[in-house]
Amino acid sequence: MKWNKLGLVWNTDGTQPWSRSHAMGPTPFLRDEKTIRVFLATLDDQGRGRPMFVDVAADNPTRVLNVSPRPLLDIGASGAFDDNGLMAISFVQTKPGELFMYYAGFEICTQIRYRILSGLAISADGGESFTRYSKAPILERTDEELYFRGGPYAMLDEGVFKLWYVAGSEWTNLNGKAMPVYDLRYQKSTDGIHWADRGTLSMAINGEDEHGFGRPWVIKRGPNDYQLFYSIRRRSFGAYRLGYAESTDGIHWVRKDDEMGLDVSPGGFDSHAIMYSAVINVKGKTYCFYNGNNFGEDGFGVAELVE
């Protein structure tokens, strides 16, 4: 693949107390034929994320049309799995006007740095507002997936909810700092709400250099043709890079990272890191929304597939 970077799209101006910095995890959703709604998280003064949206033009995704004036969901109550912030990962339209928001909830811990579990919020007005399905996570801790069950990318495929997410039960030391270790897992559900205690290992990290995968993004091109876009955490880089894989069943993947074709720039907002790729096809064109340095500190960008 070859991409043409169109540049930085948007970053918060920092004037709102709930939105001081960052534009993390851009998640495109085709709202109508003229509008791509990009859901993302901005951070408050304490580094806690809340989801919001930025509408961009479908024929020119660098042109901002509208910005949500308030967060779509607040952080969880003290002691909840998402009391230190949340980031929307994927959206599924279950029926006209109804959207499921699958999100990662962050909780600061004492004996470990943090914990990430997955939650669900539901919109009845097409994505203008959301209500938690439950104060508890839909992917709770289990023996096999103890510290992390996050990055939930969901798809409704022929009446079946399919979920790709990252999960793990250990930490590793990287230059004196504890860093999470997690692989890619897969499972399915009849209602998109109730999930198994353990998923199928879908893609394992390379234990020598890699220690985790960032938000998975799956596209089904045909009955036996799946694409996976994801982020790779490597010890050697100390920052995210983008990965790419293909599959015939959506479960077992052949990595083709060298074919991704989208890497850091010589300078600018994505000169050190590139992460959280999210791909959407609109009017015969393919766009990839993504973050750069420091988890989107300078905002989010977009690139167009040219070959």
Return the closest-CA partner of residue 215 out of 88, 83, 62.
88
Q: What is the mean pLDDT of residues 210-238?
A: 95
Q: What is the mean pLDDT of residues 86-94?
A: 98
The whole-number pLDDT of residue 81 equals 98
Q: What is the pLDDT confidence band of residue 207, given thresholds at 50, 70 and 90?
A: confident
Average pLDDT along the chain:
97
Per the model's pLDDT, the better-predicted residue between 235 and 195 turns out to be 195
126-148 pLDDT, tens digit per residue, is 999 999 999 999 999 999 999 99
Say which CATH topology domain 3-305 has. Answer: Tachylectin-2; Chain A (2.115.10)
Task: Give the three-class secondary structure for 2.
Answer: coil
Cβ–Cβ < 8 Å for 127, 37: yes
The whole-number pLDDT of residue 123 equals 98
Residue 176 CA to residue 164 CA, distance in Å, equals 31
Q: What is the pLDDT confidence band of residue 216, given thresholds at 50, 70 and 90?
A: very high
**% residues pLDDT > 90 (the chain):** 96
Q: What is the mean pLDDT of residues 217-232?
A: 97
Reported pTM: 0.96
Residue 119 CA to residue 102 CA, distance in Å, equals 6
The whole-number pLDDT of residue 101 equals 99
CB-count burial class (<10 Å; 0-12, 13-18, 19+) for 120: buried
Residue 241 CA to residue 244 CA, distance in Å, equals 10
Assigned token pair, 184:
């890619």
The whole-number pLDDT of residue 174 equals 87
Q: What is the pLDDT confidence band of residue 236, given thresholds at 50, 70 and 90?
A: confident
Residue 87 CA to residue 25 CA, distance in Å, equals 7
Task: Give the three-class secondary structure for 258.
Answer: helix
Task: Give the three-class secondary structure for 98.
Answer: strand
Q: What is the pLDDT confidence band of residue 22, given thresholds at 50, 70 and 90?
A: very high
The whole-number pLDDT of residue 208 equals 82
Residue for token digits 């279950």?
Answer: 94
Q: What is the mean pLDDT of residues 277-286?
A: 97
Cβ–Cβ < 8 Å for 24, 276: yes
Question: Residue 237: pLDDT above 90?
Answer: no
State the number of CA atoms in the 13 A half-sphere of 222 facing the CB.
4
96-129 pLDDT, tens digit per residue, is 999 999 999 999 999 999 999 999 999 999 999 9
Task: Give the three-class secondary structure for 293.
Answer: helix
Q: What is the mean pLDDT of residues 223-246?
A: 94
Assigned token pair, 300:
């989010």
The whole-number pLDDT of residue 68 equals 97
Sheet hosting strand 210-222, strand order edge to edge: 210-222, 225-234, 240-247, 254-255
Residue 46 CA to residue 75 CA, distance in Å, equals 12
Assigned token pair, 80:
């909840």
Q: What is the mean pLDDT of residues 235-240?
A: 87
Lowest mean pLDDT, pick from 46-60, 95-109, 201-215:
201-215
Residue 172 CA to residue 205 CA, distance in Å, equals 13
User: What are the C-alpha distances in Å from 303 to residues 38, 220, 276?
Assistant: 14, 20, 13
Which residues, listed in sequence order, are joined to residue 101 by a DSSP beta bridge?
91, 121
Task: Give the three-class secondary structure for 28.
Answer: strand
Boundaries of every domain in the chain: 3-305
